[in-house]
Structure 1
Amino acid sequence: MGKLSGIRVVDLSQFLPGPMMSVMMADQGAEVIKIEPPQGDPAREQAPFSSYNGEEHSVWFANLNRGKKSVVLDLKSDEGKARLRELIADADVFVEGFRPGVMKRLGFDYGNVKTIKPDIVYCSISAFGQQGDLAHHPAHDMAVQALAGFLAVNDGADGAPVVPGAASADLASGLTALSGVLMALIGRDRTGEGAYIDCAMFDSLLPWCAHTAGSAIAGGPSPVSQSQRSLGGAGFYQVYQTSDGKHVALGGREVKFAKNLLTTLDRLDLLPLAEAPAGEQGELIAFLAQVFATKTRSQWVEWFADKDVAFAPVLNFREALDEPHIAERGLLVEAEGGGNHIAPAIRFLGEEWTPGCVPKKGEHHS
């Protein structure tokens, strides 16, 4: 039993945003019926693969679709459409992630679905929303980040943007869609009315720049990374290379952290620079870069162990997942039948969580 037990979700989404949203619902006990086309969700074919419950599955697919039921439907056929209508009749939530207009052509836009289930909570996830000049423009995560201004500040010291390490627009829309659906379900309990949610990746990501794009939001020029506190212009929010070619990070700009470290390094004279505007801390950054280059990453980890400074080694995923913290928090879970899952970030005190089975394509028939 979970917080969402008794909620039925019909999910037509694929790849990342929609499946991420619905797996969080499945993790909390919702019955998620994953509607797949005859060829299956393309994420099923994304390497690498691992054995889950005795079957080979994409690790990506397994972690975003565990605990769901897989039903294969050809929505271009009368039979497939009839079966989908049957599933909708008993559903609480309907999720789709196609380009705007596709669901209308198939006969399952909000207006039509509402005639089948009047109190349905219907969520559309798209790159740019259902209306506007960009509505039909094809885009995955990075193109959305580029158009929203985020990629411009995902840059190095040379100012050239690089491919981001996290699909932030995809993930922001998954979280936003979940929030919208849960709000709508709470509202439905009070009013008896369903809702339509037009969740755009672009719209979902944009609020995430409030702390960095202030000058542009206020109507002025765009921020430049090297003059921003959170984007590379501050000594105590910075990445430094160590003597063995690895890296460490200082991740807290508070004066107390700067004072603690600079006192230990006998350079308290540089404290005013730590308080100076971002972009004016060059001498401080240069000093810290020189200091960090004198020891290996592991030596710095040991050195910082007893110091109250927001410090962290820069780990790769293998190193990060092997950290004791992961085990202590139970964040990497092996399923009973084999296969690793990243645990849900939302867990409740006193409630056990175990990963649901990864569905084979069409396992639950139509």
Structure 2
Amino acid sequence: MGKLSGINVVDLSLFLPGPMLSMMMADHGAEVIKVEPPTGDPAREMAPVEAGQSVWFRNLNRGKQALALDLKSDEGRERLWALLAEADVMIEGFRPGVMKRLGFDYDAVAARNPGIVYCSISAFGQEGEMAHHPAHDLAVQALSGFLSVNDGPDGMPVVPGVPSADMAAGLNGLSAVLMALIGREQSGRGDYVDIAMYDSMLPWCAHIAGSAIQGGTSPKSQTQRSLGGAAFYNVYQTMDGKHVVLGAREIKFAKVLLTALDRLDLLPLAEREAGEAQRPLIDFLRQTFATKSRDQWVEWFADKDVAFSPVLDFREALDQDFVKEKGLLVEADGWHQIGPSFRFKSEEEWQASDAPELRK
């Protein structure tokens, strides 16, 4: 029995944030019915395909049921009402106003099912001047300031490797839904939560944008300790064109490494302000790391207490022994899945499950 056994979820969302939210609930026992348009969730067609299903779709929709409904038809609406009558949670990710036009906004649903926890996910929220502005993850990151520090040494922002606004919205949505379910135990009523990707992402800047938060200037990557301005929190290229990182700023790690490199005289530089004051130390480390291959450095660091890591591609990352040991990547029946990021000691061992085929 999972922690969420007995919780029924109706999920009308597509692509990433909402499906991630409901999959995390399904992983822990919730019964999730994924309601898709007659043509299906577009993620079903996203390459690559393995064992007849999109890898993307399977890894965000495992353990659910899937039902195709045309919500513009009387039959489709009636079938959705029947599902919502038994639901504890409803998730939707349409553009603001769509659910009201269809007759399934929170007020309408709660009038029939007062215990429903209703979660809407959008780029900028359901109300306000930005509510109807179309945006996916990249645009949200651009408007929230994060893209400005996702830049190279030339200051040119680059497309992020992680859809952080999408993921933040999914995680915020999960937190809010679970809080509302706990609150329902006391009040007997459900609630409505308006999850915006922008609002979900913004608090993540607290550790890097302090000067801007207090009304001052915006941070520049090359002068920030967490963004590339510190020698011991930085990326370095190796002799074979690959990369390694030093990933912690505690002075004890700098002392260990500089002692091993016989350059303890450079230690005071590691304590200076990030940016130009640390440039001589960064330059020394760049020259040093360029003298060996990435794997040679991995071997060299093996007996040293330094926060060091090689930069791996996804193939290398997924092939690490500890990934298999922890059950983070599983293979079953010819397909692969990334396992849940958290599990409970009291629950049965998690088993991989397929994503649902679309039924009508």
Instruction: Calculate the TM-score normalised by the size of structure 2.
Output: 0.98
User: 1-side partners of 2:335 and 2:29: how far apart?
Assistant: 20
Shift, 1:171, TM fit? 0.2
1:287 counterpart = 2:284: yes
Corresponding position of 2:4: 4
Whichever residue aligns with residue 325 of structure 1, its letter is F
Describe the SS at the equivalent of 1:334. Answer: strand
Q: How does 1:349-364 map to 2 (within 5 A)?
A: 349-350=345-346, 351-362=348-359
Whichever residue aligns with residue 221 of structure 2, its letter is S
User: 1-side partners of 2:110 and 2:342: how far apart?
Assistant: 31
User: 1-side partners of 2:59 and 2:340: how far apart?
Assistant: 10
User: 1-side partners of 2:156 and 2:199: how far apart?
Assistant: 25
Shift, 1:136, TM fit? 0.2
User: 2-side partners of 1:302 and 1:192: how far apart?
Assistant: 59
Shift, 1:357, TM fit? 2.3
Corresponding position of 2:66: 70
Corresponding position of 1:218: 214
Corresponding position of 1:140: 136
User: 2-side partners of 1:238 and 1:338: how far apart?
Assistant: 39
Corresponding position of 2:41: 41
Shift, 1:355, TM fit? 1.8
Q: How does 1:1-366 map to 2 (within 5 A)?
A: 1-51=1-51, 56-279=52-275, 280-335=277-332, 337-350=333-346, 351-362=348-359, 365=360
Which residues of structure 2 form unaligned runs of 5+? Answer: none
Asked if structure 2 preserves the Cα contact closer than 8 Å seen for 1:97 and 1:124, the reply is: yes
Shift, 1:132, TM fit? 1.1
User: 2-side partners of 1:292 and 1:315: how far apart?
Assistant: 16
For residues 280-326 of structure 1, the C-alpha deviation after alignment (integer angstroms, 9 at most, x for no partner) is 21000000000000000000000000100000000000000001110
For residues 45-86 of structure 1, the C-alpha deviation after alignment (integer angstroms, 9 at most, x for no partner) is 1000101xxxx0000000000000001100000000000000
User: 2-side partners of 1:347 and 1:341: how far apart?
Assistant: 16
Asked if structure 2 preserves the Cα contact closer than 8 Å seen for 1:127 and 1:135, the reply is: yes
Shift, 1:165, TM fit? 0.2
Task: Give the total of aligned pairs.
Answer: 358
% same residue: 70
User: 2-side partners of 1:294 and 1:304: how far apart?
Assistant: 14
Shift, 1:10, TM fit? 0.3
Shift, 1:119, TM fit? 1.0
> In angstroms, what is the RMSD of aligned CA positions?
0.7
User: 2-side partners of 1:66 and 1:258: how far apart?
Assistant: 44
Whichever residue aligns with residue 157 of structure 1, its letter is P
